Structure 1
Amino acid sequence: MSQNGVTFGFVCVQNAGRSQMSAAFAERERERRGLEDRVEILTGGTMPADEVHPEVVEAMRELDIDLSDRAPREVSDEQLNACDVVATMGCSALELDADIEVRDWDLDDPHGQEIERVRDIRDEIERRVVSLFDERFTDQ
């Protein structure tokens, strides 16, 4: 990203649940704060699934966020090394440069969970994404 800009990466193995929710909340937060020209968002997985988990799509739809057209994608260490902050979801063994800030959010996998549990995971992700933006963009 350019001067005063930041690139956030959100990664999990399948890129079908937690990292997709994280990226969607980051996109929403970027728009809410008018930071479209300052924040780049990357999401991916080391072994992408075929689709975003249906229970994740359902839980996000409750917040008027549509993930039904998203597809899990692979992400490389090279792409992640271009990020300023990389949030992993508790399931990663990435080999990233030492100057990348890596945060392991250690979140339960929503796949196959009851919708109530998926909502809890979703809400925790939302809190963490908002907090990440608050850290980076408060007093600027």
Structure 2
Amino acid sequence: MTEKKPSVLFVCVHNAGRSQMAAGWLRHLAGDRVEIRSAGSLPADRINPVVVAAMNEQGIDIAAEHPKIITTEAVQHSDVVITMGCGDACPFFPGKRYEDWKLDDPAGGDLGAVRQIRDEIRSHVEELITSLRED
């Protein structure tokens, strides 16, 4: 019998910074043990290039990712929904595990500011991985 992989959805407004970094970290740290999605309530045209640069410093390449709109299906098919400032635009379904990570928005930030956000996201993702193992 195979164990079902937990599924995590990261959501922020533009899906161009925080949620993409979180998905990159989770992919890097958990590999294929977790199904990973990211989306935004108002997706940008492209990922923030400063975010891409900050993640590249850690050996994580997210340059090929594209901002996506959040869908009801993405939320329904996720075990855990992590929001990062998407406000009331995130659909809510009873029985889902929701977490809201209070993080600065990297939009308009320089590389130093984005590094701080990146490192804070890594800490959150490490805690998330531990909690997924306990579920």
- TM norm. shorter chain > 0.5: yes
- Match in the other structure for 2:111: 115
Match of 1:96 among 92, 97, 100: 92
Question: Which one has a larger percent helix, Structure 1 or Structure 2?
Answer: 2
- Match in the other structure for 1:137: 133
- Match in the other structure for 1:21: 21
Match of 2:71 among 76, 79, 86: 76
- Match in the other structure for 2:8: 8
The CA distance in 1 between the partners of 2:62 and 2:109, in whole Å, is 18
Match of 2:60 among 40, 65, 78: 65
The CA distance in 1 between the partners of 2:49 and 2:94, in whole Å, is 36
What is the aligned-residue identity percentage? 40
- TM-score, normalised to structure 2's length? 0.91
Gap regions ≥5 residues in structure 1: none
Task: Give the drift of 1:122.
Answer: 0.3
Equivalenced residues, count: 133
Which 4+ residue blocks in structure 1 deviate beyond 6 angstroms? none
- TM-score, normalised to structure 1's length? 0.88
Is 1:50 aligned to 2:48, yes or no?
no
Task: Give the drift of 1:102.
Answer: 0.9
CA contact (8 A) 2:13 2:85 kept: no
* SS of residue in 2 equivalent to 1:44: strand
Gap regions ≥5 residues in structure 2: none
AA in 2 matched with 1:56? V
Is 1:105 aligned to 2:101, yes or no?
yes
CA contact (8 A) 1:91 1:106 kept: no
